[in-house]
Structure 1
Amino acid sequence: MTTSADAAKADKPRGVFSRLMHRLAADADVLDAEDLQESTGKVGNCCCRDLVAGESVRIAGRLRSVVYTPSEKAPTLTAELFDGTGAVELVWLGQRRIPGIEPGREMVVSGRIADRDGSPALFNPWYELTPTGAG
């Protein structure tokens, strides 16, 4: 039986020359996703591609987008967290803005996965912002 981890290993170039050729020929988005997956896999306990509603998870990744949706009932701040394998929607109810929650920011989130319009989501997740590099 072949697992997704086995498939990922089979897809990865093995030799130095093969890795170099892959990095030269691959699309920048693919390389970014691979680098992000490698770095975030060390921090999170699961990948976005493996999320199941009802599970408690810890995911590390980078925010792709942050959107504020005004509402008469409750404002909502929504962000998309990408970990290199897929994305999860983060939803903070009653929030207009959260300092540090901005596109491009790396963070670790945890909570219980819910299904929101057919996509995985975390409502009011616990989060930890990853320190930005000094430079």
Structure 2
Amino acid sequence: MTTDERQSSLRRMLRRFTASEAEIEAQELRRESAEHGCPPAQLCMRGQVVSVAGRLRTVVYTPRTNLPTLEADLYDGSDVVTLVWLGRRQIVGIEPGRHLTARGRMAVRDDRKVIYNPYYELEPPK
């Protein structure tokens, strides 16, 4: 092992000891997203058809008189993408803490990234 490799290894080890729990979680989610072949949500732009993978942070049913919606915030370690299913009150398996991969056209609503009626694939519970 060269001196540079030892220093790099030591830096990684120190970073793990000094990083917060949120930083470690974000790093792990970014790694898992890359393993699924998905780009970081942070790099996804409006109008692109994208695949994003991560963990659902929140799931909210919004009753509206005309069109109820189910909204879920997907976090991949780099950014949050809101998944919106129009006309749905609930979807089995869509719950906080669940890992999934979603695909659809990226939109922006109120300066937040949104995918409407995404195709999705649930990961097995861990």
Above 0.5 in TM-score? Answer: yes
Taking the aligned partners of 2:92 and 2:54, their CA distance within structure 1 comes to: 17
Q: Which runs of 5+ in 2 are unaligned?
A: 1-6
Calculate the aligned-residue CA RMSD, in Å: 1.1
Quick one: percent identity of the two aligned structures? 42
| CA deviation string 1:33-78 (max 9, x = no partner) | 0011011111143211012111000111110110111111111100
* Residue type at the aligned position of 2:73: E
> Which residue in the other structure is 1:4 paired with?
none
Distance 1:103 1:53, change over 3 A: same
> Which residue in the other structure is 2:20 paired with?
27
* Alignment size in residue pairs: 120
Which aligned runs of 4 or more in structure 1 are off by greater than 2 angstroms? none
> Which residue in the other structure is 1:65 paired with?
58
Are the equivalent residues in 2 in contact too, given 1:44–1:108 (CA < 8 A)? no
> Which residue in the other structure is 2:9 paired with?
16
Alignment of 1:1-135 (within 5 A): 15-133=8-126
Q: Which runs of 5+ in 1 are unaligned?
A: 1-13
Scaled by the length of structure 2, the TM-score of the pair is 0.91
Cα distance, 1:15 vs structure 2 = 1.9
Cα distance, 1:104 vs structure 2 = 0.6
